[in-house]
Amino acid sequence: MKSVSAMSITLLLIATPPCIAQQVVGSTQLGVAYAELRDVTTGWSTKRQVLGKHVFNDKGETIGKIDDIIVAPDKAVSYAIIGAGGFLGMGRHDVAIPVNELKEDSGKFILAGGSKDAIKAMPVFEYAR
């Protein structure tokens, strides 16, 4: 009796089609491999370390806040969207600043030569529709 059920199970396993979740030759693995995870965790998080942070000029004056980061089609981080002015969203002025103009120093983002007036004089940034 035991050999019949063992034989039935073996036959069932052989006759069962392969699992749908099986990886297909030439397919791409999703996610991050365990070895890469260390590199990911030591990188920057825009949510935790960049977005919402104040931008200062070289005199230590607050001139705006980083509201967004623009990634170019070639996957390069290209612009920081800086929000300046306004109260409760009224009179707000968003501008695009090339990220290479921002310097990070001890957790502070500095735009050398920047001022609130200079930001307000720049063209307003608007997202494409």
Q: Which domains does the chain show, CATH number per domain? A: 2-41 (no CATH), 45-121 (2.30.30.240)
Question: Angle at Cα 75 formed by Cα 23 and Cα 100, nearest 5°?
Answer: 150
3-state secondary structure of 9: helix
Output the pLDDT for position 127. Answer: 86
Average pLDDT over residues 44-64: 87
Can you tell me the distance from the alpha carbon of 48 to that of 77, in angstroms, rounded to the nearest whole number? Answer: 16
Token pair in block for residue 72? 């170019």
Does residue 56 or residue 11 have the better pLDDT?
A: 56
Does the pLDDT of residue 11 top 50, yes or no? no
Instruction: Tell me the pLDDT tens digit for each residue of 70-83.
Output: 988 888 888 999 98
What does the pLDDT read at residue 10?
45
At residue 11, the 3 state secondary structure works out as helix
